[in-house]
Amino acid sequence: MITYLLEMKFKNLNINYKKPKGIVLILFILFMTILVSFDFFKNVFSIIKYNKDERIIRNSKFCEGDSQGFVSYLNKNYNFGTNPILLNNTISPLSDWIYFDFKKEQSKSELILLNYEETQTIKTEFKNSRFIARKLPPLLREIKGINISFEDELNIDKTFVVNLYKVQNKKKENLTSNQVLLKKGLNNKFIDLSLNDSEGRKLRSYEIEIKPFKKGMIKNVNLIINNQIKLSDYQIIEKKQNCYFLRKND
Amino acid sequence: MIEIINIILFPLALIIFFQNHLFAKLLKKRFGKENSHFDYYILNLFIILNLILLVSLFNFDIEFTIIIISIYFILVNIFNFNFKIISKFIFSLLILIIIFQVLSIYIVANPDLGWDGKFHWYKKALNFYQNMGFENLSNLPKYEYPHFGVYLWAFFWSINPLNFEYFGRLFYLFLYLLSIFSIVDLLNNKNLKLILFITLSLITFNFNHFTGNQDILVFSFVIFLSRYLYLIYEKKEQTLFNLILFILINNIILWIKYECIVYVILSYSMLLIYKLFKKDYKYFLLIFFSFLFTLIFKLSISQFYQINLNASFQFSGEYDLFKLFDINLFFYKFYIIFKYYFFSLFKNPVILIGYISLALILLQKIKISLTNVFLFILFNLSSFLIFYIIQIDFEWHVAYGIDRHILQYSGFSILFLVVFFNKIFKN
């Protein structure tokens, strides 16, 4: 049937249709190339072997990024009577679509918390004589402090001015300025700020300026932050790595 | 295994679903042999889509919409069904079905959604699937976005026996392939049609376009539109049939994404200006009043359902209108948009092919309607306008949004490839 159709079609191309075998062979090779390049056989196998929900989580990490593996695990093992609130402490797509149901009410007590630590250390990158902290957790509540590590121990007492700026939408705002005395022999200093900064855009960044700045003196600068959710306010129903299923304590 | 069987049957069901043998008979009598059966198929497709749109606006349950469309299907096909029409295009249909199967298996094997798909598009489709109505949309993110794309998603999600959401997205794939088929169908050389269809559909396929975003729908509808713009401007076939399709397609485009209003305004304006310029007043009033009606209808529905048309991600609180006229900011924004626009061209093979074809047309001095060229330029300039007005997280929005925006109108540029090939490969 296919050979007949091809013969009828290729008459117009003025190809010697008495030799369709060669053309059919070329077309077959092209067709197989297309199938292989689109992983056709692998995908058919995947559809037959795994059900839809398994296929969704196969390319996701269990408790990293969107953590669909964990959410799917909860959906399978817990019969959600309501829609638990889902909060992800990384900038990732929301995974609540896996269980969301408009016919169910939004839960007031159940919470799925992904990639969460109550206190986090944010590493900074050095650029233009400043230390910049980007990709901040969305649930940031407070800047607990700044941790400065030096390459070598200080050989004398030294006073530094440490400025912290918040940068969002191309605007820079000075949050705090501290004069810090570092004693001789120190190679590490924690500056306590306890600065509440839960408001702000997700894409904001923080810049730490240390004056006087000498190249090669500072090893790294980290921002220590506290996040919004206090785990002690909740009962932990399920915990896998940094992913939690919580129920609010009455 | 049952999924595989459903995937195999799905395109066959869609091909039969959009058949209309009553129209084929009646329109053949009215329009004679001017239009091919494929044109009647597209006409029926857009009549059904407009009917679904109309029913969706009454806020009925989706099951009711399915019943209405099923009644329509039975009424137009009962006593008129004719396999001869399908058999005329059997080879082309076979190729379309095979390509559909290969690509749909790819999507179904990886049914995860994209970022925006998870953020709001899926929930909007779920909203209609679970018959929550228009009112509930205001509780979801990006509430100002039109609903029709996700309504179609919910429609085909409901209609399939397995009730898997990805069948809605497979309908997007079907439209994508059919739209490419519709534009290459304009080639004079019959052998080139299938070769170009297979080539274009495979090289332009990107899995990420079918992860819940609506941009691929706009892409497909703009290609359908470009088919009739080709017939209207290049072939000068300003028939009632082509104009009706022009109106029906524009009406659907308007209800897919927020920025599509720009494409609709541009395409209608160009047609009206063209007619005025040529002093051709035939059907002028029809086009003019259709234009007005389309826009007023959209605004009225938004008012009725109290859908706030202000883009929630920009016009909430901090927006400063005076900054739009700041000359320093203008040059900075223009530079950023142009930079990302330029890089995006290389990520989109369709528009790159379109630009190359246009360059070859101009170099070879091939005759082309300037209206289509102007329209394409205006579509590209719309990217600059739409991103220029963004103030909050401007560069981030441009960097991550311009690719998808260019995708929306990039299909229009396939028209230039058709013009070029029609000149080079005469029948």
Return d(Cα B249, Cα B243) in angstroms, integer.
10
The dihedral built from the CA positions of residue A176, A227, A57 and A201, taken in this order, carries a sign that is negative
Q: What are phi and psi of A8, to 5 degrees?
A: -65, -40
| pLDDT score at B326 | 78
Q: Which residues of B112-131 are buried (b: 16+ CB within 10 A; e: fewer)?
A: bbbbbbbbbbbbbbbbbbbb
In chain A, which residues have their Cβ closer than 8 Å to the Cβ of B118? Answer: 66, 93-95, 97
Mean pLDDT of B10-16: 88
Identify from B88, B91, B102, B199 which residue to disrupt to test chain A contact, counting A C-beta atoms within 10 A and taking the largest count: B102
Give residues with Cβ within 8 angstroms of B226, minimum separation 6: B183, B372, B411, B412, B414, B415
In chain A, which residues have their Cβ closer than 8 Å to the Cβ of B123? Answer: 97, 100
Return d(Cα B222, Cα B230) in angstroms, integer.
12
A2 pLDDT above the threshold of 60: no
B35 pLDDT above the threshold of 70: no
Structure tokens given for B131: 């018959």
Of A65-79, A124-138, A206-220, B285-299, least confident by mean pLDDT is A206-220
| pLDDT score at B82 | 67
Residue ranges per structural domain of chain B: 2-424
Cβ burial, residue B151 (10 Å; 0-12/13-18/19+): buried
Q: What's the pLDDT band for A15 if we cut at 50, 70, 90? A: very low
Long-range interactions of B354-360: CB distance < 8 A, separation 24+: B354/B410, B354/B412, B354/B413, B354/B414, B354/B415, B354/B416, B354/B417, B355/B413, B357/B413, B357/B416, B357/B417, B357/B419, B357/B420, B358/B413, B358/B416, B360/B420
Arithmetic mean of pLDDT over chain A: 87
CATH (residue range A119-227): 2.60.120
Q: Inter-chain contact B111–A169, Cβ cutoff 8 Å?
A: no
Find out whether A90 and A65 touch, Cβ atoms under 8 Å: yes
Q: Above pLDDT 70, what percent of chain A?
A: 92
> Which of the two residues, A16 and B60, has the higher pLDDT score?
B60
A3 pLDDT above the threshold of 70: no
Helix/strand/coil percentages in chain B, nearest 5 = 75, 0, 25
Strands, sheet with A234-240, edge to edge from the N-terminal-most edge strand = A83-88, A106-114, A243-248, A234-240
Tokens 């950023």 -> residue: B336
B289 pLDDT above the threshold of 90: yes
- B138: contact with A, CB 8 A cutoff: no
Q: Inter-chain contact A5–B164, Cβ cutoff 8 Å?
A: no
Q: What's the pLDDT band for A21 if we cut at 50, 70, 90? A: confident
B77 pLDDT above the threshold of 90: no
- B114: contact with A, CB 8 A cutoff: yes
Q: Which of A206, A218, A216 is nearest to A124 (CA)?
A: A206
> Which of the two residues, A5 and B391, has the higher pLDDT score?
B391
Task: Specify the amino acid at residue A158.
Answer: K
Helix/strand/coil percentages in chain A, nearest 5 = 25, 40, 35
Cα within 13 Å of Cα(B187), Cβ side: 22
| pLDDT score at A199 | 80
Q: Which residues of A52-91 are buried (b: 16+ CB within 10 A; e: fewer)?
A: eeebbbeebebbbbbbbbbbbbbbeeeeeeebbebbbbbe
Structure tokens given for A103: 């016919």
Rg of chain B in Å (alpha carbons): 21
In chain B, which residues have their Cβ closer than 8 Å to the Cβ of A35? Answer: 102
Q: Inter-chain contact A169–B112, Cβ cutoff 8 Å?
A: no
- B111: contact with A, CB 8 A cutoff: yes
Q: Inter-chain contact B3–A47, Cβ cutoff 8 Å?
A: yes
Of A62-76, A226-240, B136-150, B211-225, least confident by mean pLDDT is B136-150
Q: Which of B72, B73, B55 is nearest to B64 (CA)?
A: B55
In chain B, which residues have their Cβ closer than 8 Å to the Cβ of A47? Answer: 3-4, 105, 108-109
Q: Inter-chain contact B111–A56, Cβ cutoff 8 Å?
A: yes
In chain A, which residues have their Cβ closer than 8 Å to the Cβ of B190? Answer: 12
Q: Inter-chain contact B202–A34, Cβ cutoff 8 Å?
A: yes
CA distances from B73 to A228, B77, B80 (A): 56, 6, 11
ipTM for the complex? 0.84
Arithmetic mean of pLDDT over chain B: 88
- Helix H or strand E encompassing B329: helix B327-345
Of A118-132, B134-148, B262-276, least confident by mean pLDDT is B134-148
| pLDDT score at B215 | 95
- Could you please report the per-residue DSSP string of B62-120? HHHHHHHHHHHHHHHHTTT--HHHHHHTHHHHHHHHHHHHHHHHHHHHS----HHIIII
Residues of chain A with CATH 2.60.120: 119-227
Task: Specify the amino acid at residue B404.
Answer: R
Structure tokens given for B323: 């900054």
Return d(Cα B187, Cα B183) in angstroms, integer.
8
| pLDDT score at B395 | 86
B317 pLDDT above the threshold of 60: no
Q: Inter-chain contact A93–B118, Cβ cutoff 8 Å?
A: yes
> Which of the two residues, A63 and B318, has the higher pLDDT score?
A63
CA torsion B5-B8-B11-B14 (nearest 10°) is -30
| pLDDT score at B111 | 93
B315 pLDDT above the threshold of 70: no
For B198, the closest chain A residue by CA position comes to A34
